[in-house]
Amino acid sequence: MQRLFWNVTYWFGKTPWDTGITPPELRAVVESGQVQPGRALDLGCGTGTNVLYLAQHGFDAVGVDISPRAIAVAQRKIKQAGLAQHAQVYSGDVTRLDTLPVTGLFNLALDLGCLHVVDLAARPRYAAGLAAHMQTGGLYLLYAFDPRSCLGRRMGLTTKETERLFIPAFTLLQVHHGQDRAGAESAWYTFRKT
């Protein structure tokens, strides 16, 4: 059912989260050299904006999104950019990475608005799958909004919930609290794989 929902949103272009702009928080980490080019994993990659950005900056980038429609758009963008050797995207469930052809370890992972809409019961599986695919010392960037109700479901994450999910497999380096475009509370988290 969730796959259908997300696919329909991409078909009708109702995707305000998929702006086509790489966020300054990711650009700062990459362009400052805080993380060296290697392998990057984008969880909830949408139409591949950040997968392309990372491939253009020397990473072998892999993206995963539940929407086959979003992945089809991402594949087209990757092909047009001539980056197929350095960028792959897969349609699938980010809480079941073991069922996808996502192999090896990554030194950078990002989630810019995916985990906060994942069902509560599936979040520990997401965290375990991510930990299994991260190399020691790798960075994980997470953007998530605070808890709220949307379409009759609880979405979002508190800082405490986020820490419980990822510590001790990761060390929380920093949290920057702010607001999203609609004025709702949100946060950027930076974790390092222990």
48-75 pLDDT, tens digit each: 999 999 999 999 999 999 999 999 999 9
Average pLDDT of span 172-184? 86
Question: What pLDDT is attached to residue 148?
Answer: 83
Residue 35 has, within 13 A of its CA and on its CB side, a CA count of: 30
User: In terms of Cα–Cα distance, which of 108, 190, 101, 94 is closest to 144?
Assistant: 190
The sign of the dihedral angle between the CA atoms of 122, 120, 164, 109 is positive
CATH superfamily of 2-10+20-137: Vaccinia Virus protein VP39 (3.40.50.150)
Mean pLDDT of the chain: 91
- Answer yes or no: is pLDDT of 1 > 70: no
**Low-confidence winner among 19-23, 62-66, 85-89, 140-144 (lowest mean pLDDT):** 19-23
Q: What is the pTM of this model?
A: 0.90
CB 29 within 8 A of CB 37: no
Domain boundaries, the chain: 2-10+20-137
Gap between the Cα atoms of 21 and 42, Å rounded: 14
Burial code (b: 16+ CB inside 10 Å, e: under 16) for 144-154 equals bbbeeeeeeee
Minimum mean pLDDT among 7-11, 81-85, 90-94, 128-132: which range? Answer: 7-11
pLDDT value for 7: 47
| pLDDT band at residue 83 using 50, 70 and 90 as cut-offs | very high
Beta-carbon contacts of 187 under 8 Å, excluding residues fewer than 6 positions away, are 143, 144, 145, 146, 159, 162, 175, 176, 177, 178
Instruction: Give the pLDDT confidence of 112-167 residue by residue, as tens digits.
Output: 989 998 999 999 999 999 999 999 999 999 999 998 877 677 889 999 999 999 99
Higher-confidence residue of 147 and 169: namely 169
Q: How many CB atoms lie within 10 A of CB 160?
A: 8
How far apart CA 128 and CA 107 sit, in angstroms, is: 16
